[in-house]
């Protein structure tokens, strides 16, 4: 089994130089030695998992350091291998990426969140604030966008064997995926990853609803497929008659995204026009607009349903033209028109730009398609415009924040240098005022010590305690300063 996966991986990295390929071979050997004898709960060797994650990264055509880091991503956590070993064998970049992936393991959703999942939770402010803090922390701790991508691929592979885990763990991982991983994939424009992450979590979180959607949609999808096979032939002939090469495909909407749409449309599948959408791929932007004209002369468009994401791309970089038409026999059908490049962007997002062959196009990327990074930048209260792409991709813009946890697992966002007192005030003013000491990661610490990313902090309270003016010398947050000035006896 492992050999078959290793062969598949070696085949898939043919886009890399011979030197890079041989480095990847030795990384596979390294992982194989490190994981020797380790078996996953599914019964498969641990090495398979490493190779599967590598396969995803190679499919995205990322650089060789990222492929190597993906193969080694669990070696530091689960085997005697150290970051130092990796650095001396594979270089500083690989070591940095593996270290980043290992550190992200500390990001967990709070146990108090674990209740029957529902998409409506997202409307609850406190819950959404927590989720957003975790997403920020995820990005901040990654330091490099490639760490995020490896982690997304890792999660995708883990979801496939989720059924082997005990229920509590299974639900936590599925919910974390829905609330943290899938939205991050979406913001990075990685549509394919996002949908896979959602569709693998959905049946665990809402088994009844999942079964309901499938039962409802499968006959509709089948009928649509047959119909679209006919009409797409007709459209293709018309387009090619104008001298434009067109590739026409049709793809069913993914389960979770269909479910969300059904909730918005009275659970009535006849109101959803893109259960299966027609996708027309043509060589140039000019061709896209020409094809739009051809479609509208063939079939009448539904008013108000033409969306030009080429002129106005989505914030995550998605580009395409969408129109909904009354196709043959009046069947309402959505058609998406795009170039091959836009198609790749829609599927792989940021990873499409990061890919090995397109390194030279980084400059162009910044001006036209980095709107998603502005979205990330908006996460930060003081937006500082990055000077160049490299800086932006390094995700340095969170370097002045740290993210820590309560013992219940709630995440708290603090400035660098924040102390247990700042943390106590961030949890609640009363907790700050009564703070008498703190345990960080189960060890007693001084209340003046600086907290680190991922710390778990327990505040020891003294009900009769009062803040001291002396604390003003070391606290970092305005909220703590103000509260101390108000409540400290002088």
Could you tell me which stretch among 150-158, 191-199, 226-234, 441-449 binds Mn ion (CB under 5 A)? 150-158
CB of 154 to Mn ion, least distance (A): 4
Q: In the set 154, 179, 287, 343, which binds Mn ion (CB under 5 A)?
A: 154
Q: Which of 63, 78, 375, 458 is catalytic?
A: 78
Is 273 within 8 Å of 334 (Cβ atoms)? yes
CB 173 to Mn ion: min, Å? 12
Q: Which residues inside 47-106 make contact with Mn ion, applying CB under 5 A?
A: 74
Are the C-beta atoms of residues 188 and 350 closer than 8 Å to each other? yes
Q: Which residues are 324's β-sheet partners?
A: 334
Instruction: Indicate the residue among 139 and 157 with the shorter CB distance to Mn ion.
Output: 157
Binding mask 299-338 toward Mn ion (x if CB under 5 A, else -) reads ----------------------------------------
- Please identify, among the stretches 126-134, 147-155, 248-256, 472-480, the one whose residues bind Mn ion according to the rule CB under 5 A: 147-155
Token pair 């240098």 is at which residue?
A: 417
Residue closer to Mn ion by CB (options 71, 418) is 71
Pairing relation of β-strands 457-461 and 435-440? antiparallel
Q: Which is nearer to Mn ion, 173 or 365 (CB)?
A: 173
Q: How far is CA 376 from the centre of its chain?
A: 12
* CA distance from start to end of the chain: 72
Distance in Å, CB of 186 to Mn ion, minimum: 22
Residue 77 falls in the annotated catalytic set: yes
Nearest-angstrom CA–CA distance, 37 and 208: 38
Tell me the H-state helices in 206-317: 207-241, 255-264, 285-298
Q: Which is nearer to Mn ion, 9 or 424 (CB)?
A: 9
Cβ-based neighbour number of residue 440 at 10 Å: 18
Name 281's bridge partners. Answer: 247, 338
Please count the residues of this chain forming the interface with Mn ion, following the rule CB under 5 A.
2
| Of 11-19, 149-157, 246-254, 339-347: span binding Mn ion (CB under 5 A) | 149-157
Round to whole Å and give the CA distance between 176 and 172: 6
**Catalytic residue (choose from 7, 36, 77, 222):** 77
The token pair that represents 292 in the structure block: 């739009």
Specify whether the CB–CB gap between 221 and 256 falls below 8 A. Answer: no
| Minimum CB distance to Mn ion, residue 169 (Å) | 14
CA dihedral 37, 42, 48, 49 (to 10 degrees): -110
Decide if 78 is catalytic.
yes
Nearer to Mn ion, 74 or 274 (CB): 74
Active-site positions? 77-78
Give me the residues that bind Mn ion (CB under 5 A), please. 74, 154
């Amino acid at each position: 089994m492992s050999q078959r996966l290793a062969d598949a991986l070696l085949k898939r990295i043919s886009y890399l130089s011979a030197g890079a390929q041989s480095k990847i071979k030795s990384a596979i050997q390294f992982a194989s030695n490190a994981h020797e004898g380790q078996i996953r709960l599914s019964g498969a060797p641990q090495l398979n998992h490493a190779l599967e994650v590598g396969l995803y990264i190679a499919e995205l055509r990322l650089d060789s350091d990222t492929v190597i880091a993906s193969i080694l991503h669990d070696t530091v956590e689960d085997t005697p291998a150290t970051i130092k070993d990796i650095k001396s064998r594979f270089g500083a970049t690989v070591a940095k990426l593996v270290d980043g992936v290992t550190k992200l393991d500390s990001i967990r959703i709070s146990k108090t969140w674990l209740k029957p999942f529902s998409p409506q939770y997202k409307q609850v402010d406190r819950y959404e604030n927590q989720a957003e803090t975790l997403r920020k922390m995820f990005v901040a701790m990654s330091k490099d966008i490639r760490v995020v991508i490896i982690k997304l691929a890792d999660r995708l592979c883990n979801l496939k064997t989720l059924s082997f885990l005990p229920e509590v763990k299974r639900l936590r991982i599925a919910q974390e995926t829905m609330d943290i991983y899938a939205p991050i994939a979406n913001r990075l424009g990685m549509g394919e990853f996002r949908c896979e992450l959602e569709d693998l979590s959905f049946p665990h979180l809402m088994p009844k609803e999942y079964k309901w959607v499938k039962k409802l949609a499968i006959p509709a999808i089948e009928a649509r497929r047959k119909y679209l096979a006919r009409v797409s032939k007709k459209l293709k002939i018309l387009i090619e008659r104008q001298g434009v090469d067109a590739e026409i495909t049709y793809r069913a909407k993914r389960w979770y995204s269909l479910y969300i749409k059904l909730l918005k449309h009275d659970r009535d599948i006849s109101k959803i026009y893109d259960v299966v959408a027609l996708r027309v791929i043509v060589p140039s932007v000019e061709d896209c607009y020409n094809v739009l004209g051809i479609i509208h002369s063939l079939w009448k468009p539904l008013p108000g349903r033409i969306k030009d994401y080429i002129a106005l791309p989505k914030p995550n970089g998605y580009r395409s033209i969408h129109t909904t038409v009354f196709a043959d026999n009046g069947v309402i059908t959505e058609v998406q028109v795009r170039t091959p490049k836009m198609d790749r962007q829609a599927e792989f997002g940021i990873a499409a730009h990061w890919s090995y062959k397109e390194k030279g196009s980084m400059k162009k990327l910044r001006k036209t398609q980095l709107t998603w990074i502005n979205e990330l930048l908006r996460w930060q209260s003081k937006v500082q415009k990055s000077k160049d792409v490299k800086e932006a991709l390094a995700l340095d813009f969170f370097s002045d924040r740290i993210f820590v946890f309560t013992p219940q697992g709630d995440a708290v966002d603090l400035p660098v240098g924040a102390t247990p007192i700042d943390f106590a005030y961030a949890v609640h003013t009363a907790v700050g005022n009564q703070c008498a000491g703190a345990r960080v990661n189960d060890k007693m610490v001084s209340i003046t010590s600086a907290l680190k990313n991922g710390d778990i902090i327990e505040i020891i309270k003294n009900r009769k305690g009062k803040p001291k003016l002396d604390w003003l010398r070391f606290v970092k947050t305005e909220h703590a300063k103000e509260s101390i000035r108000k409540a400290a006896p002088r």
